[in-house]
Amino acid sequence: MEQTVKILVVDDDEVDRMAVRDALVKAGVHMELSEVSDGNDAFSALSTATFDCVFLDYHLLAQDGLTLLQQLRSSEIKVPLVVLTGEGDEQNAVQLIKAGATDYLSKSRISPENLVQVLWSAIRVYQAEVQVALANEQLRESHEELIRKNQELERQQQQIQMQNFKLLEASRLKSHFLATMSHELRTPMSAIIGFSQVLLRPKFGQLTHQQTDMVERILNNGKHLLMLLNEVLDFSKLEAGRLYFKTEIFDVSKVINLTVAEMRSLADAKNLPLLVQNDLQNALVFNDPVRIKQVLINLLSNAIKFTESGEIWVEVKELPANRVAIIVRDTGIGIAPRDFKRIFEAFRQVDQTITRKYPGTGLGLAIIDSLVRMMGGKIFLESKVGIGSMFKIELPRQITLSTVAANAPPFQLDGDEILYSAQNPHQSSSQAKSAPIGYPKFKL
């Protein structure tokens, strides 16, 4: 063995100490050997220096081995320790091992081979114990770290829940505010529009050319503002799940023609031909005509707004599976594919800058997207920047219970046919009761 080991022999018998020393020398152990004859000296030696191994006589005169072991343990002095026992002491040696000794060897078996074997084995066992203790300590620390992190995660989760709750509350308040404000603003706006219309009638006196021009501007701006207010109001109702459908059977071609006629002046103002192609065989649908009109107005006003030259087309046609398509095409600025999804989100516009060329709330497509979904329909968009856009709405001819029921529960079930009408949220319950119930049975 090349390694020098520091060994302490604790024995009150000079002859026994010599036997250990001789055996170690004979075994060729490279060592620094210290010898003491009682427990007190052993304790002070171990307190002041480190040893690789201690050979301890079980029977010390002043103090037995067990007391020394306890003393070492309470002072947290750790060292590989081999107890040397006399005849019949084996039982006590087991006790000492329980108290912290590494191994024991009967004095009668002391020989160079046995001693060197027990020496290295004690050192190895001790080193293994140290490593296990170290690993345990590291495990304990990681366990504590995990508990700390877990607590931190729980705390963060609670904070997120709290923030979520606050956000939901803020969003609810925002929707409420939007709904109240737009509703309140509509009343004076209706008065402005109404009185401007009255002023333009000749029976209330002739206005000068300049005055007519000014009143017309008030009227047009009032109408535009009312449309914006209606968009905000619809959006907040949709968000709150309180936008109701008033369903009926009607001629969709008539609604489309009327809407196109209303929008024609806007297209004319930009010199844009507004063409309609209607290929419907059966024009009857079961839906809410006001909402169908709203969808078309939105698509048409966008088409007109975003087109500087060319044409606008409206096409209506039958689709398989009893569905109907309403298509609006334009030759306008077009939309890049990366914006296809985004423009259907509320307040999203391709140009989000304050100085943008085209005005608007950014709510139109979000609203019609929700409306079309509620009708059980789909919107398809095809567009090329600089070439134009095509918005295609596919709708079931008859909107179904599941789509409408989300808005207003059916109030009459008639055999196989489900007849229902949505209630106006602003209608009082007595008015609602007196409203006509259901529709004549009609095959669509």
Region of 213-221, 258-266, 317-325, 327-335 interacting with ligand ADP (CB under 6 A): 327-335
Range 234-253, binding ligand ADP (CB under 6 A): none
Q: Which is nearer to ligand ADP, 102 or 298 (CB)?
A: 298
φ and ψ at residue 438, rounded to 5 degrees: 75, 180
**Interface mask toward ligand ADP for 342-381; x: CB under 6 A:** -x-----xx---------xxxxxxx---------------
Assess contact for 3 and 31: CB atoms under 8 A: no
Question: Using the 8-state DSSP alphabet, how is residue 374 labeled?
Answer: H
Residue whose beta carbon is closest to ligand ADP = 360
**Interface mask toward ligand ADP for 263-302; x: CB under 6 A:** ---------------------------------------x
CB of 328 to ligand ADP, least distance (A): 8
Assess contact for 264 and 304: CB atoms under 8 A: no
CB of 287 to ligand ADP, least distance (A): 21
CB of 332 to ligand ADP, least distance (A): 5
CB of 193 to ligand ADP, least distance (A): 20
Q: Which is nearer to ligand ADP, 196 or 389 (CB)?
A: 389
Helix 252-269 / helix 289-305 crossing angle, nearest 10 deg:
20
Within 8 A by CB and 6+ apart from 106, the residues are: 84, 85, 86, 87, 89, 90
Which residue in this structure is represented by tokens 């201690």? 54
Q: Nearest-CA neighbor of 35 among 25, 45, 22? A: 45
Region of 23-31, 86-94, 262-270, 328-336 interacting with ligand ADP (CB under 6 A): 328-336
What one-character-per-residue DSSP string does 266-299 give? HHHHTT--EEEEE--S--EEEE-HHHHHHHHHHH
Q: According to the binding rule CB under 6 A, does residue 330 interact with ligand ADP?
A: yes
Which residue in this structure is represented by tokens 């004859």? 37
CB of 216 to ligand ADP, least distance (A): 23
What pairs with residue 313 in β-bridges? 275, 329
Assess contact for 265 and 259: CB atoms under 8 A: no
Range 376-405, binding ligand ADP (CB under 6 A): 389
Among 29, 335, 375, 419, binds ligand ADP (CB under 6 A): 335
Q: Which is nearer to ligand ADP, 102 or 389 (CB)?
A: 389
- With vertex at residue 410, the alpha carbon angle to CA 407 and CA 414, rounded to the nearest 5 degrees, is 155
Tokens standing for residue 341: 């999804």
Among 303, 312, 326, 372, binds ligand ADP (CB under 6 A): 303
- Report helix, strand and coil shares of the chain as percent, to nearest 5: 50, 20, 30
Binding residues for ligand ADP (CB under 6 A)? 302-303, 306, 330, 332-333, 335, 343, 349-350, 360-366, 389
